[in-house]
């Protein structure tokens, strides 16, 4: 993606363990904070059913809890560039947006949120990865999935499995994050494919000890990458 950000003090993108939240209550906020404290590089707030104002409120609460737990963890909003903009304008601890094919076009979101924001984009097939190249300069990373079929999100795309990722990584100039029911046991193999990290939803959100899952996932990713 983009080279020099205007900030000079560039936000480093640690995509190794990327949490996507579920739920809308205190458990969501607390789990996000635990994951951040354990080293998750990005927390994406995803709550597709919430009204706009309620989503903004949740995003600001998650941002604040994450900031207290780990100021290095970046917070992005799923789908909603407008909510990300409002949260950033409120000086919340929010850093950008993650867009899908049906959301605001990437260049519009980039123009709204400015050169320093984090902008991610969902893909999952070779065609989708290639189709993102013309606006790759406006993006920071791609999410690609599903790794395996998931009950939380039916994208209609065939599952990639471990073997699906190397071709996607080669086809993109951007770092790629694997998503779709990724469990800690999957991480070492995924790390060998060239992906920059793994996104986890239920593996962390439903865990008895979310921090332990994140810690283990990061260790497993590093081991797999060195392997």
Q: What is the pLDDT of residue 153?
A: 63
Q: What is the pLDDT of residue 6?
A: 40
Q: Are 143 and 157 in contact (CB under 8 A)?
A: no
Q: What is the pLDDT of residue 12?
A: 81
Q: What is the pLDDT of residue 152?
A: 61
Q: Are 152 and 202 in contact (CB under 8 A)?
A: yes
Of residues 61, 143, 151, the one with CA closest to residue 45: 61
Q: Radius of gyration of the chain from Cα atoms?
A: 16
Whether the link from the prior residue into 146 is cis, omega within 30° of 0, is: yes
Of residues 155, 195, 157, the one with CA closest to residue 178: 195
Taking phi over 0 as left and psi of -120 to 50 as alpha, with beta for the rest, 8 belongs to: left
Q: What is the pLDDT of residue 9?
A: 46
How far apart CA 66 and CA 70 sit, in angstroms, is 6
pLDDT tens-digit series, residues 39-61: 999 999 999 999 999 999 999 99
- The contacts of residue 153 (CB under 8 Å, 6+ apart) are 146, 180
How far apart CA 115 and CA 192 sit, in angstroms, is 31
Whole-structure pTM value: 0.94
Residues of the chain where predicted confidence (pLDDT) is lower than 50: 3-9
- The contacts of residue 163 (CB under 8 Å, 6+ apart) are none
Query: In a 3-state reduction of DSSP, which class is residue 148?
Result: coil
How far apart CA 24 and CA 206 sit, in angstroms, is 14
Q: What is the pLDDT of residue 69?
A: 98
- Report the alpha-carbon angle 199-203-204, nearest 5: 80
């Amino acid at each position: 993606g983009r080279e020099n950000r205007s900030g000079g003090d560039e936000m480093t993108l640690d995509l190794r363990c990327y949490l996507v939240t579920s739920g809308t209550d205190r458990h969501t906020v607390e789990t996000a904070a635990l994951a951040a404290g354990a080293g998750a590089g990005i927390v994406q707030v995803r709550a597709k059913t919430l009204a706009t104002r309620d989503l903004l409120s949740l995003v600001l609460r998650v941002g604040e809890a994450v900031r207290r737990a780990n100021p290095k963890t970046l917070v992005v909003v799923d789908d909603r560039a407008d909510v990300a903009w409002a949260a950033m304008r409120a000086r919340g601890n929010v850093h950008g947006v993650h867009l899908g094919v049906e959301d605001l076009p990437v260049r519009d979101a980039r123009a709204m949120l400015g050169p320093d924001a984090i902008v991610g984009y969902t893909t999952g097939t070779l065609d989708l990865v290639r189709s993102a190249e013309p606006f790759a300069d406006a993006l920071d990373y791609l999410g690609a999935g599903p790794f395996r079929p998931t009950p939380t999100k039916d994208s209609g795309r065939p599952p990639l499995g471990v073997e699906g990722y190397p071709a996607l990584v080669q086809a993109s100039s951007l770092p790629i994050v694997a998503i779709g029911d990724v469990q800690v046991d999957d991480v070492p193999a995924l790390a060998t494919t060239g992906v920059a990290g793994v996104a986890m939803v239920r593996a962390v959100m439903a865990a008895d000890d979310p921090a332990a899952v994140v810690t283990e996932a990061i260790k497993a990713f590093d081991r797999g990458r060195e392997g």
